[in-house]
Amino acid sequence: MKALFSQKLTVLNAGLASFATNIERAGGDAIAMNWQPPAGGDRDGGLALADLLNQPEIELANQTAMQRYLAAQPLLVDVMLAGEAIPALSEKKLILHAGPPIAWQDMCGPVQGAILGAILFEKWAQNLEQAEALVLDGEVIFEPCHHYDAVGPMAGIISRSMPLWVVENPANDNERVYSNFNEGLGKVLRFGANSEAVIERLEWMGTELAQAMKAMLAQSGPIELKPIMAQALHMGDEVHNRNAAATGLLLKQLVPALLKTSQPPEQIQRAVGFITANDHFFLNLSMAACKSMLKAAENVPSSTMVTVMARNGVNFGIRLSGTGNTWFQAPANPVNGLFFPGFGVEDAAADLGDSAITETAGVGGFAMASSPAIVKFVGGTPADATNNSRSMQAITLGGNPAFTLPALNFAPTAAGIDARKVVDHSVLPIINTGIAHKQAGVGQIGAGITTAPMQCFVDALHSLATQHYR
């Protein structure tokens, strides 16, 4: 030891940077590592992580889940009314919502407002007072969209008479997933609006627009969604908060097929006009494609790959491939973003929607490097966007070569979130998100960046370790 201290010290410092600074001031060399305890210092989380590291069974399971995700080829094949696609919606007064399960009394304002709007749309009640009375009497029940292989942005409401996109994955026995149609911006159901104008738009979407889209698909045949998403990433989208290019690419396939249908010209004009006025139109298809890819990776025993991330305006929930349909929840983290004039943090609802399925699949916030313009909407700089995409490589099982990022020398997007790596590195998945007003119907008041809460991943690992490795 005396010989050691007679030499010039070169120290590798893990922890507080001030320790390294003091060594340098004393004449030594020190390298400061950016390190922090796993699981944010949670002891049980660290122990669960230790149980799940260096387990050949888990490595093989993750490889299997990742291969299934990569092999998925989501195809848009049909448009159906929700009650036909999901029979449970026709068998009872059931309404689906975004995020993990939540009771009526715990829901945020936008979700409650959207549910009341859906009740009016279904004509189960004649006014909002009657609609709320139905809910309070227990005549209407609620479940997450994910329980029926469906996704919806923001409030994510799906009821029996709403039209759904139907997406199949031929690489997974043609398993189907669903998403509702995007209403556009402004006063819309997904932000809790439920006025007469909102209901009238939903009725038009469920009849004329749905008929036009169904007839279009009969002419075009199945539409591959991954190539549209891949090309859009090269054109400035990240296919979550920015879908301008993807919607344009979709239109190139929609319009020629629509013109070949027997739909009246006026109906075609209205449909095309509605889509061209809504740069977010492709979002719901992007979500369905991502859900399809991740559904293929579900239910692989022992896998720590995350297959669902979703928010209900109160809690954030995740599901792992290896833990099946079990939700792991924690309060949603705040959104760090830009607010529209006149609004601020005090006006905002907690993070909301199923659209984090895009980040779960490796796009959205994970692909911000491809969309430098998004920072004007969510805040930050183009360099921040690139750094966000790079940082996600630390918590994923690999990359998706179908989705590449020009700004990173066409590197594949980081994909396959590994809950172990999230807990080990204390790096949380980044999510691009819109910000909803906490009151129903006010609408979107901003956009920004948030992260998934650490506790979800800690609880998920603890559950998996308890089941299989303790």
**pLDDT 10s digits, 351-367:** 999 999 999 999 999 99
What average pLDDT does range 383-410 have in this prediction? 95
- Distance in angstroms (rounded) separating the CA atoms of residues 217 and 76: 8
**Would the pLDDT of 101 be above 70?**
yes
Q: What is the pLDDT of residue 192?
A: 95
User: Phi and psi (nearest 5°) for 420?
Assistant: -65, -45
**Looking at this protein, which amino acid is placed at residue 63?**
Q
Q: Which CATH number does 74-288 carry? A: 3.90.1710.10
**Would the pLDDT of 5 be above 70?**
no
Lowest mean pLDDT among 62-66, 295-299, 433-437: 433-437
- Considering the chain, tell me which residue range(s) the CATH 3.90.1700.10 domain(s) occupy: 43-65+298-468
Confidence at 9, pLDDT banded by 50, 70, 90: low
Which pTM does this prediction carry? Answer: 0.93
Q: What is the pLDDT of residue 377?
A: 79
**Is 283:185 a contact under the CB 8 Å cutoff?**
no
- Considering the chain, tell me which residue range(s) the CATH 3.90.1710.10 domain(s) occupy: 74-288
What average pLDDT does range 114-121 have in this prediction? 98
Confidence at 469, pLDDT banded by 50, 70, 90: low
Instruction: Summarize pLDDT for 299-336 with one digit per residue, the tens.
Output: 999 999 999 999 999 999 999 999 999 999 999 988 88
Q: Which two tokens stand for residue 280?
A: 């977010």
Which architecture characterizes domain 43-65+298-468 according to CATH?
Alpha-Beta Complex (3.90)
Q: Where are the alpha helices (DSSP H) in 392-453?
A: 419-425
What average pLDDT does range 267-278 have in this prediction? 96
Q: What is the pLDDT of residue 188?
A: 96
How many other C-beta atoms are found inside a 10 Å radius of the C-beta of residue 303?
30
- Distance in angstroms (rounded) separating the CA atoms of residues 410 and 41: 36
Helix 244-259 vs helix 265-276: angle between axes, to the nearest 10 degrees?
A: 170
Please state, for a pLDDT cut of 70, what percent of the chain lies above it: 96
Q: What is the DSSP letter of 224?
A: E
Lowest mean pLDDT among 87-101, 386-400, 431-445: 431-445
| Residue listed under structure tokens 């030891």 | 1
**Would the pLDDT of 25 be above 90?**
no
Average model confidence (pLDDT) across the chain? 93
**Is 302:63 a contact under the CB 8 Å cutoff?**
no
Residue scoring higher pLDDT (404 or 375): 404
For 83, the enclosing helix (H) or strand (E) is: helix 82-85
Q: What is the pLDDT of residue 316?
A: 98
| Whole-number Cα distances in Å, 144 to 69, 147, 256 | 22, 6, 36
